[in-house]
Amino acid sequence: MLDELRIQRAAASRLAEVDPSRLGFGDHFSDHMFSLRFRDGAWGQPEIVPLAPVPVHPGCLALHYGQSVFEGLKAFRGTDGRVRIFRPDRNAARLHDSCRRLCIPPLPDGVFEAAVEEIVRVEHEWIPRGRGEALYVRPLIFAEDAHLQVRPSTKFRLLVFTSPVTNYYDREAGAVSLKAQNRYTRAAPGGVGFAKTGGNYAAALFPATESIAEGFDQALWLDGTEHRYVEEVGQMNIFFDFGGRVATPELRGTILPGITRESVITLLRDRGIEVEERRIGIDEVVRRSRDGTLREAFGAGTAAVITPIGRIGFEGAMHEINAGASGPLGAELYDALIGIQLGEREDRHGWNRIVDLESAPAQAAD
């Protein structure tokens, strides 16, 4: 399909307007976007066009009923100068599952990875070069039908655009603090908790804002049935080092199956560290933080990479982990992931997709 990709270049790049020392996360957008529409039962003509506002009808089903899904992944400029995209095949698989749950037609095999590679190839000059920085890639599929009946759309649009970013959390600020939410629910069994869809994030906004107002950095979600078991953080999966054995909540359909989560589990097992994917009660976390058998905790996500967790608030009490500081295991995993993404460490599992910047450009649009 992408053999017929058409590229319309922006008249002028905005890259010179960006201060590389003040990237932030998602504050800037690059010059182009990949676009592909679904009409009459099939995905149509792929194209890359200048980034611009997208016109939608006020009756657009995505606006009213939330029929949309998205992904997030990163491209890196390695220390060897090569451009690498980290594990796009896993994002493609997760997007497929999200589409199925939201009644969105899946992309043909290979189209997601190829679309991401093409937009990164076009925008490679936007990839920042600082350690911990990357070109964040945001694919989005949304329903375009204008209709007020509650039903799946018959028209969809895929957009893929990029943003140069730095670390989501300030690593110099130390470990983050979380408020365990036993009042609000992110996802319930049988729902869409495993899908990367906007509604999950909308539901998290108020509890997260409330947590921040109380002095925490984020909310820690507990299960939606008993409010007893740890599930995930706002933008991260969560890991606990229980005395040399690492535990993370098991995937039960209510937790986003993170690509970084999966990578961390593999890296830990490569090191001979036992990893338990199981239900983890908040009572266990509290007890182990008190008796010292909880050595450290950290979050894992595409945006956050590896972020240390130093405090968890629960039922009015504050529980410190590793004296509120970052721990050695999380730091080691951060260095390992960044090292693989930058080409400094061996990519034993073939996670990186190398972008050939010398390949012939697609045909220009008329």
Question: Over the stretch 28-62, which tens digit does the pLDDT of each residue have?
Answer: 999 999 999 999 999 999 999 999 999 999 999 99
- Same-domain check for residues 63 and 177: no
Residue 46 lies in a domain: yes
d(CA 88, CA 324): 34
d(CA 354, CA 351): 10
- Same-domain check for residues 241 and 306: yes
How many domains, the chain? Answer: 2
- Same-domain check for residues 255 and 320: yes
The two three-digit tokens of residue 215, written as one number = 């002095």
d(CA 114, CA 254): 29
- Same-domain check for residues 176 and 245: yes
Whichever domain contains 187, its CATH number is: 3.20.10.10
- Same-domain check for residues 156 and 282: no
Residue 365 lies in a domain: no
Residue 331 lies in a domain: yes
Whichever domain contains 70, its CATH number is: 3.30.470.10
Domain termination residue (choose one: 123, 151, 166)? 166
Q: In a 3-state reduction of DSSP, which class is residue 315?
A: coil
Residue 283 lies in a domain: yes
Residues of the chain with pLDDT under 70: 1, 171, 173, 360-366
Residue 355 lies in a domain: no
pLDDT of residue 358: 83
Q: ∠ at Cα 126 (112, 339), nearest 5°?
A: 75
- Same-domain check for residues 41 and 186: no
Residue 243 lies in a domain: yes
Beta bridge partners of 309: 176, 297
The position carrying tokens 């992309």 is: 107
Domain boundaries, position 64 = 2-166
- Same-domain check for residues 179 and 109: no
- Same-domain check for residues 161 and 19: yes
Residue 357 lies in a domain: no
Residue 356 lies in a domain: no
- Same-domain check for residues 313 and 289: yes
pLDDT of residue 366: 45
- Same-domain check for residues 195 and 237: yes
Domain termination residue (choose one: 137, 166, 195)? 166
- Same-domain check for residues 20 and 145: yes
pTM to 2 decimals?
A: 0.95
- Same-domain check for residues 182 and 129: no
Domain termination residue (choose one: 118, 138, 166)? 166
d(CA 307, CA 340): 17
d(CA 240, CA 279): 12
Q: Where are the strands (E) in 44-82, listed by range?
A: 47-50, 68-70, 73-77
d(CA 263, CA 85): 14
